[in-house]
Structure 1
């Protein structure tokens, strides 16, 4: 993609975000699926050498920050994901193909979604969502770039701290959606390592 193309794409994404923010009427406790929004087609995305795409529309891989291992909870635990900062309601897309394994509302993660890879070796975890995309349900197949939901600040993110908490776990065949061994997604999303 040329610099001009990337600049135009960035302007389109910012315009969509600005329009979306004008249509927002504030947080609501009840909607889990943002039914009133039309399904927004995310802008084109780039796939890296690991076969993944950055799961927040309009965020380039070279703009990601490696927040893996940072202290959380007043130093009581380590961050086992990366945070991708973006305005509220920015589209969240599938980083890779798979099946939606679990939709879950947790105290810490808020509205969350788990996608299990087709070979069942990986789980992608999306947390602090503002809501799910219309039609998203457990068991459905998704492709890389499928609209899953929208960036939010649910759970323990803190009001106004809108971001996607994105985690990856390497899974054994018998592991359930919340199990597995956490792996730092930063080098995989940034294209610095290949998934084995």
Structure 2
């Protein structure tokens, strides 16, 4: 594994996230963008981390043993890739992820996955606060529509854009998959 390259961290790309019951989402191409990133990282033997949410709420689609808790077939981890299980949105909390990265001397990370305003944003905030050089790949993440605190319905695109704005420059750099793939190719 080439630890001189950034680690790709794929967050919560589980079968439940593809369930139409999850609601209106943006970036329908996000899954294929993540697959492109994953293929590129594998081709150069760069570090890959797959994060899986395992709910503590009985009946949740993410409850251990439920089909929704399993990784999406197109993004299944290889035996050499690290898998992190989490019980809260932030992939760094009680997971050993920070230690895994530090032991390997990895200081740069690229994040993709779902949902932009929840697990991706929470994880990217921690990564930035912990001193990792973090890039969030905007077109390889997606969010779901929701109602804000004031009762205003917000589209998935609005939720996604606001989460990225919350991160940009403060905790992470926001990029797109084409730029991230060019940077990876230039570093190898």
TM-score (norm 2): 0.23
Bigger share in strand: 1
Higher helix share: 2
TM-score by length of 1: 0.22
